[in-house]
A and B are shown apart, each in its own frame.
Chain A
Amino acid sequence: MKQLRNICDGVGSVLALLVRSVGYAGTLPLQLGRFIEQCYLIGYTTLPIVAILSFFIGSVLALQAGYSMQDFGAKSFIGSLVGLSMARELGPMMVSILLAGRVGSAITAELASMKVYQEIDALETMNIPPARMLVMPRLAAVIVMMPVLTIIANLVGWFGGAFVSSHVKFIDIDSSTYFGALRHYTKFKDVANGLIKAEVFGFVVVLVCCSIGLRTRGGPREIGASVTRAVVTSLIMILVLDYFLTQVLLLISPS
């Protein structure tokens, strides 16, 4: 019963924070400095790890596909498999998971620390709403940066697949065959579906991490506990939302 009440309390806090933060959207032009700083933290500093992981995910996909398809003589379709998998699922999913682990944890740690050491209380007494100064610029930044990161993840993943396909002996298909299949089967709507997913996941991750950070009470131990809770909750939210969002997107734009 207590668990259920905590979950309801958490959901309510996230929704309340969402409403408050969206209400301050009009102040974004006055907070351009903070917005750019958050774009840098969310986008630029996450880019190297996104690129490295995307390359290897694309590579592994091509390897596995090549191994599975070699007996059927369907190796020329590796490009379509890697292209669709990265665009529709793995690109947005992987970027969101990295966002939760790298950016979400940092956001929760920072806000939880500010809460525990009364900096949030100090802001409130100065009539500076934390939702305006600390949450809204982060939400705006993630909306802008998620499509950028996801497109880069897709491109690097596709090239990873191409590299493996042309350099591994048992696959050995040239790049033009790989990209020909990729271009033929991967449509704009597949990429768009992935971008919609990435936007939703990224927004939810940042919102949940901000909410958990701002609700922290206690001392240093609770800061650590909040970070763990924020990352775990974000990962669960990504996976649950992924299923339902995929269902909705398949209904809206069937193949």
Chain B
Amino acid sequence: MPFCSPPAHPDASQEVPAVGVKVENLVKNFGSLSVLKNVSFEVKPGEIFVLMGPSGSGKSVLLRHVVGLERATSGRVMIEGHDAAVEETRQHVCIGLVFQAGALFNSLSVYDNLALYLREHRVGSEAEIKTKVLHALKILSLENTAKKFPSDLSGGMKKRVAIARSLVMEPQLLLYDEPTSELDPVMAATISEIIASLRDQYRVTSIVVSHDRDLALNIADRIGLLMNGELIMVGTPAELKASQDPRIVDFLHPKFDLHNPRFKKLET
């Protein structure tokens, strides 16, 4: 049984209701290492919520909790009233995750990567699957890549194929893990625009984990800032820019001091 039956026609996905996400007192420890320290926030239905923070601050771990790939030490993530840690939740809510490295199936062509979910869940005939896959590829301007294999694609193309693969699932909640990392500024802007237009077109709730300041300030409805496992702020892009908290100011506008570099301060 498919965990979220996509509508019969691609355009009908606009009717799928968006879902809200509530993270409640989430704590995650790996042995003695505390990665998430009592993190709580809420994402409203249809919103783009960008979770920012320095590398190693626990952003991706938090995202893996939302999709049920990690078990919390304590606390929970609720998606539209369903606990994300429970397997059945994915039968009630359709969740797509765009992995940082794409996580495309290297042994399958781009077309088969997109068709896999539909075939495995027996969503329509092969002709209907073809229509859906080609539609998703068209949205992301990937029509010419259908027969290619992931190893033949550039970094930006892999990211777009990964987004297209999530899109054929017609998700109610779409999660992006560092969607613009390792991309040039123009391709990063393109991916940001795609994320925003997908929300506008399909009203899908989006949680984006990134340390890309431009992406966050341009497309986010709200931004959460995670530092050392603690959520130090949740607010709109305007509120973030106006913040006087030295940690936030330093994160958004890091100063280059070549005479007294940061790494030397850390050493002392």
A pairs with B: yes
Q: Using a CB–CB distance below 8 Å, which chain A residues touch chain B?
A: 30, 114, 117-119, 121-122, 124-128, 133
A117 and B106 form a contact (CB under 8 A): yes
B90 and A127 form a contact (CB under 8 A): yes
Partner of A128, one of B97, B106, B117: B117
- Bound form: Cα–Cα A104–B51 in Å: 42
Contact A117 to B101, CB < 8 A, known contacts A124-B69, A125-B96, A126-B169: yes
- Report A122 CB to chain B, min CB distance, Å: 4
A122 and B99 contact, CB distance less than 8 A: yes
Q: How far is the CA of A128 from the CA of B95 in the complex (A)?
A: 13
**How far apart are A8's CB and chain B's nearest CB, in angstroms?**
19
Asked if A127 and B3 sit within 8 Å, CB to CB, the answer is yes
CA distance A128 to B2 in the complex (A): 9
Chain B residues near A121 (CB, 8 Å)?
A: 69, 97, 99, 103
**Is B213 an interface position by the 8 A CB rule?**
no
The chain A residue with its CB closest to the CB of B168 is A126
9 residue pairs, one from A and one from B, having the closest CB atoms: A118-B103, A127-B3, A122-B103, A125-B97, A126-B117, A128-B120, A127-B90, A118-B99, A125-B67
- Known interface pairs A127-B91, A128-B116; A122-B121 also in contact (CB < 8 Å): no
- Give me 11 other A-B pairs in contact (C-beta within 8 A), A119-B106, A125-B90 excluded: A117-B106, A118-B101, A121-B69, A121-B99, A124-B69, A125-B97, A126-B117, A126-B120, A126-B169, A127-B90, A128-B121
Min C-beta distance of B216 to chain A, whole Å: 23
**B41 in contact (CB, < 8 A):** no
- B91 near A119 with CB under 8 A, answer no
Tell me the bound Cα distance from A125 to B116 in angstroms. 13
Minimum CB–CB distance from A219 to chain B (whole Å) comes to 12
Give the distance in Å from the alpha carbon of A133 to the alpha carbon of B97 in the complex: 20
How far is it, in angstroms, between the C-alpha of A128 and the C-alpha of B117 when the chains are bound? Answer: 8
B106 & A126 in contact (Cβ 8 Å cutoff): no
Complex A-B: 25 CB contacts under 8 Å: A117-B101, A117-B106, A118-B99, A118-B103, A119-B104, A119-B105, A119-B106, A121-B97, A121-B99, A122-B97, A122-B99, A122-B105, A124-B68, A124-B69, A125-B67, A125-B69, A126-B116, A126-B117, A126-B169, A127-B2, A127-B3, A127-B90, A127-B91, A128-B120, A128-B121
Interface string of B71-111 (1 = CB under 8 A from A): 00000000000000000001100011101010111100000
- Which residue on chain B has the smallest CB distance to residue A31? B120
**Interface contact tally, CB-CB below 8 A:** 44
Measured between alpha carbons, how far is A114 from B106 in the docked complex, in Å? 9
Residues of A within 8 A of B99 (CB): 118, 121-122
Chain A residues contacting B106 (CB-CB under 8 Å) are 117, 119
CA distance A196 to B25 in the complex (A): 54
Closest CB of chain B to A80's CB: distance in Å? 48
Interface size range on B against A: 20 to 34
A121 to B68, CA, bound (A): 10
Instruction: Tell me the minimal C-beta distance from B108 to chain A in angstroms.
Output: 10
B128 to chain A, nearest CB (A): 17
| Residue numbers in A under 8 Å from B116 (CB-CB) | 126, 128
Q: List B contacts of A124 (CB < 8 A).
A: 68-69
A124 to B67, CA, bound (A): 9
Q: Kindly provide the distance from the CB of A17 to the nearest chain B CB, expressed in whole angstroms.
A: 16
Which among B67, B69, B103 has the highest number of chain A CB atoms within 10 Å?
A: B103
- Give chain B interface residues in 1-58, CB to chain A under 8 Å: 2-3
Task: Annotate B117-130 by CB proximity to A: 1 below 8 A, 0 otherwise.
Answer: 10011100000000
Q: Which residues of B contact A114 (CB under 8 A)?
A: 105
Shortest B225–chain A CB gap in Å is 26
| A127-B103 in contact (CB<8A) | no
**Complex contacts, B117 vs chain A, CB 8 Å:** 126, 128
Closest residue of chain A to B177 (Cβ to Cβ) is A118
Which residues of chain A are near B3, meaning CB under 8 Å?
A: 127
- Most chain B beta-carbon neighbours within 10 Å: one of A122, A124, A125, A133: A125
Instruction: List which B162-195 residues lie within 8 A (CB) of chain A.
Output: 169
A127 to B97, CA, bound (A): 12
Nearest chain A CB to B145's CB is how many angstroms away? 18
CB contacts (< 8 Å) of A125 on chain B: these are: 67-69, 90, 95-97
The one of A30, A119, A133 in contact with B103, judged by C-beta atoms closer than 8 angstroms, is A119
**CB nearest to B108 among chain A residues:** A119
Q: Which residue of B lies closest to A126 (CB)?
A: B117
Residue among B67, B97, B103, B169 making CB contact with A117, cutoff 8 Å: B103
Q: How far is the CB of A246 from chain B (nearest CB, A)?
A: 40
